[in-house]
Homo-oligomer: A and B are copies of this chain.
Amino acid sequence: MNYKKLNGDEKILLSHGGGGRETAALIKDILFAEFYGPDSNIINYDNGQNQIKLLEDAAILDSPKKIAFTTDSFTVSPIFFKGGDIGKLSVAGTVNDLSVMGAKPLFLSLGLIIEEGFLIEDLKRIINSVVQEAKKSGVKIVTGDTKVVPVGKADGIFINTSGIGKVLYENISVYNITDGDVVIVSGDIGDHGSAVMSQRDGIDMDVAIESDCASLWDMIELVLRQGCRVNAIRDATRGGLAAVLNEWASAAGINIHIEENDIPIKDSVKGFCEFLGFEPYQLACEGRVVFAVKPGYANRVIEILRSHPSGKNAKVIGIVGDKNRGDSRFKGKVILRGIYGVDRLLDYPSGELLPRIC
């Protein structure tokens, strides 16, 4: 098939989503060319031992026995922000959702919903980020879909990624968290939320905060491979640390006691939150995970995390307790002990918070 090559200064047209000649051009020129090299009909994986043919309706894959399967849609605004963009975020987000389940990320799907008029140049930049981020954890993009909607019916670009991972470490589950588990966070919290919000239309503050957006399989695997007994791991995205801890507390029927003073957080993020009235514990991270580890393993986990660039500010922030406490009114809570020793509840985030943070 012959078609016109796409230039960077062109815009996305409705016809790029019509399923015909222009859609084929977009897929070949922008997507396949970046993912697999020009004129390729084949994706190699497993060091060339296996191949996937492109342009079929589904990718046929050799699968491990136990897989993890997850999906995430990304609607972040602005799409380009300090420390990343929607493309990087889409890969890291799904890679991390697999990683926290002890699964090595293998395959990704990529579903694009693009608004008519979107710049081809911006699309190329985003797709390039997707490719770069996928390389970091070795995940392959094996299937995709592109839709275009008329001007005003979307906002630039939305991306869905679904992922399949090979479960290497079983029994990592929120339901396993129990009394005495030590709660560890892998680094400073709230960077992503602050970076994105500070660059949003109508705020546009010049703060020196970069998103922490990163693929964390490497770091998580380092901890698990060394036999540290980890009960649960979760990435602190939408709703931030507050959402993770509250979900854990209610799912496992325990309380979590956190030392507020021990939560790692940058002064710039603290200042940004004070200025705008945000609760920093509710701000999204995109490169931080929370661990619940068996007592006795905390120091080793901290040591391993700090040996990795993404975990150099890892800290123990609290402890799990009260599973067997009789009074159910006092279970499923997150209790924050403040600087002066005063306890307060850290509640579920609620209300509008920060729309389109991821």
Interface residues of A (CB under 8 A from B): 1, 13-15, 17-24, 53, 55-75, 77, 96-98, 100-101, 103, 107, 109-113, 142-145, 147-150, 152-155, 158, 160, 162-165, 167, 170, 173-175, 234-235, 237-239, 242-243, 246-247, 250-251, 282, 284, 332, 348-356
Chain B CB count within 10 A is highest, among A19, A21, A98, for: A19
Q: Is the CB of B69 within 8 A of A61?
A: yes
Q: Chain B's nearest CB lies how many Å from the CB of A295?
A: 23
Q: What is the interface of chain A mostly: helix, strand, loop, or mixed?
A: mixed
Q: What are the residues of chain B within 8 A of A332 when measuring CB–CB?
A: 1
User: Which of the residues B57, B96, B113 comes within 8 Å of A113, measured between beta carbons?
Assistant: B113
Q: What are the residues of chain B within 8 A of A238 when measuring CB–CB?
A: 17-20, 23
Chain B CB count within 10 A is highest, among A15, A56, A144, for: A56
* Chain A to chain B contacts (Cβ below 8 Å), 8 pairs: A18-B351, A23-B238, A24-B348, A59-B69, A60-B103, A111-B111, A150-B355, A160-B160
A59 to B18, CA, bound (A): 33
Q: What are the residues of chain B within 8 A of A350 when measuring CB–CB?
A: 15, 18, 20-22
Q: Is the CB of B351 within 8 A of A20?
A: yes
Known: A19-B238, A21-B348, A153-B154. 19 other contacts (CB 8 A): A1-B348, A15-B352, A19-B349, A19-B353, A20-B350, A22-B351, A23-B239, A55-B174, A55-B247, A59-B68, A61-B69, A62-B65, A63-B64, A63-B66, A63-B67, A70-B109, A71-B162, A111-B162, A148-B355
Q: What are the residues of chain B within 8 A of A234 when measuring CB–CB?
A: 57
A353 to B110, CA, bound (A): 24
Q: Is the CB of A63 within 8 A of B60?
A: no
Q: What are the residues of chain B within 8 A of A251 when measuring CB–CB?
A: 55
A18 to B353, CA, bound (A): 6
Chain B, residue nearest A67 (CB): B63
Q: Chain B's nearest CB lies how many Å from the CB of A95?
A: 11
User: Which of the residues B22, B58, B100, B149 comes within 8 Å of A57, measured between beta carbons?
Assistant: B100
Q: Chain B's nearest CB lies how many Å from the CB of A194?
A: 16
Q: State the 6 A-B residue pairs at the shortest beta-carbon distance, nearest first.
A: A19-B238, A20-B349, A19-B239, A162-B162, A71-B109, A58-B70
Decide: A56 near B18, CB < 8 A? Known: A73-B160, A109-B162, A143-B71. Answer: no
A318 to B357, CA, bound (A): 52
Q: Is the CB of A71 within 8 A of B152?
A: no
A60 to B173, CA, bound (A): 10
Q: Chain B's nearest CB lies how many Å from the CB of A170?
A: 8
Q: Is the CB of A143 within 8 A of B20?
A: no
Decide: A13 near B352, CB < 8 A? Known: A69-B142, A111-B160, A113-B113. Answer: yes
Q: What are the residues of chain B within 8 A of A142 when measuring CB–CB?
A: 69
Q: Is the CB of A353 within 8 A of B20?
A: yes
Q: Chain B's nearest CB lies how many Å from the CB of A16?
A: 10
Q: What are the residues of chain B within 8 A of A18 when measuring CB–CB?
A: 238-239, 349-355
Q: What are the residues of chain B within 8 A of A165 when measuring CB–CB?
A: 58
Q: Is the CB of B57 within 8 A of A101?
A: yes
Q: Chain B's nearest CB lies how many Å from the CB of A96?
A: 8
Chain B, residue nearest A158 (CB): B113
Q: What are the residues of chain B within 8 A of A63 when measuring CB–CB?
A: 63-67
Q: What are the residues of chain B within 8 A of A1 when measuring CB–CB?
A: 246, 250, 332, 348
